[in-house]
Amino acid sequence: MHEFTIEIVSDRVARVAGTGDELVAPVGKSIQDSIYEYSQKRAVDAGAPVEVAVHRSGRCTQVTVAPDGTASRSAPTGPIPTSADQGEEPANADMIAEEPVSITLDALGDTAHSAPDDAGQGSAPHPEYDARRQPVSVLAAPGIIPGATEPARTGIRGRLNAVLGLSLSPKPSSTEMRLRVAAATIAGPIPEFSTITVANTKGGVGKTPIAVGLAQTLATHRGGATVVCADLAESGGSLADRVSVPPPGEQNIFGLLAADQAATGHLRPSALGRHLTRQPSGEDIVAGHHDLTATRHVGLSGDDAAALASILAHHREILVADTGNNPLAGSWQWAVSEAGALVVPVPLRRDAATTAHRMLLDLATTHPGRLDRTVVIITDGPGDTPMVESDTVDAFIALGVQVLRMPYEPLFAGGERIVPSRLRCTTTDSLTVIAATVVDLITSTG
């Protein structure tokens, strides 16, 4: 295999060792893009993959580039130099102390047999877990990022692959590659059980469709039985009317909280499953309470929401909270205060934007640091006023929150049940980016 070394000397310049070639990144491209294009050209000229050692600030990265443009990180194929091979000795060899040696002796009078513990068990205690990183053999196959080496399916490269049977990878800066990176982010680990709250005190802004779509996207990439979407409106919202599979009439949050063992938080998975409704994407939902003729005429409180989260934390990873419009409700206050990420949908209407902006101003005062975990979703829909977009975006950016844009989705605006297979491709892509942003907020502040 052909090998060569490239040293990055600045953000825009790199030099190829042995040839004197100098790579300069043009405007709009990074130096890594120039290195990739140069390496692919060398691979095409050689008619075989090339191994590139990229040095920067004392660190070395081994990359194998094939003639078709496929690039993957790899271990070096040649021998790894050691200090003995180079004949070098540490400059401060005289100052290096020898490894200390210690021994232990049993106290006088002790026997060689340990006494049984208080529980009457003679088993030895578990050894302490060593958190140090375990050594990895250089012979191990390099890791593969899911989707990173798969052929392109969209764009010009995707059409060439479909027509000519090629295996061209998507460009690093392409939309397809960005979506693959977003999908990998969604599937990544999170520090602990987290709550994602969808909130806006203005009604009719699309909180429930965003919550349903977000839960579907998270479950699609994280797997089934990992995400629960719950209706935390004070008196029950429209979550049950928007999901693909509606829950039975007797299923609601109060029924789950009244289940056996629910008070202790240790509910068996089989018992929990009787109070959840599984959706086609793998997520579960918990509906709100709608029966106005019931003997209990009490709205969902903050304690009820906390108890629900305590139960779900033993069996799921993420709770997507679909909130109501009353900021004084206990369930609303709990969902906002415990949110690992706060998602605020805002249509391009002045009343909706003003209400959301006022809500975030209040949260900045009552919950310091909450805006660091907030993302605003500007949505398109019927009755929007595009001329308020500039002022709306500027106002939210001034608060220091992230702002994303979501295209118009007829299924969201029409009030029908949200089935993933019926969503537009642009909506699915947008939800993927939103979900990845939310996971980033959770992991960066966890």
For the chain, domain boundaries: 1-77, 188-445
Helix ranges restricted to H, 75-196: 83-86, 155-164, 175-187
* CA 441 remoteness from chain centre: 8
Superfamily of domain 188-445: P-loop containing nucleotide triphosphate hydrolases (3.40.50.300)
φ, ψ for residue 115, nearest 5 deg: -75, 150
**Torsion, Cα of 184, 185, 191, 194 (10° steps):** -110
3-state helix, strand, coil in the chain (%, to 5): 35, 15, 50
pLDDT of residue 75: 57
* CA 189 remoteness from chain centre: 7
Q: Which residues of the chain have pLDDT under 50?
A: 78-122, 295
Contacts of residue 110, defined as CB under 8 A and 6 or more positions apart, other chains included, come to none
pLDDT of residue 126: 57
What tokens does 420 get?
A: 């993933």
What tokens does 112 get?
A: 């060689």
From CA 83, how far away is CA 103, in angstroms rounded?
Answer: 32
pLDDT of residue 386: 81
Classify 286 as helix, strand or coil.
Answer: strand
pLDDT of residue 417: 97
pLDDT of residue 193: 96
pTM for this entry: 0.69
From CA 337, how far away is CA 317, in angstroms rounded?
Answer: 18
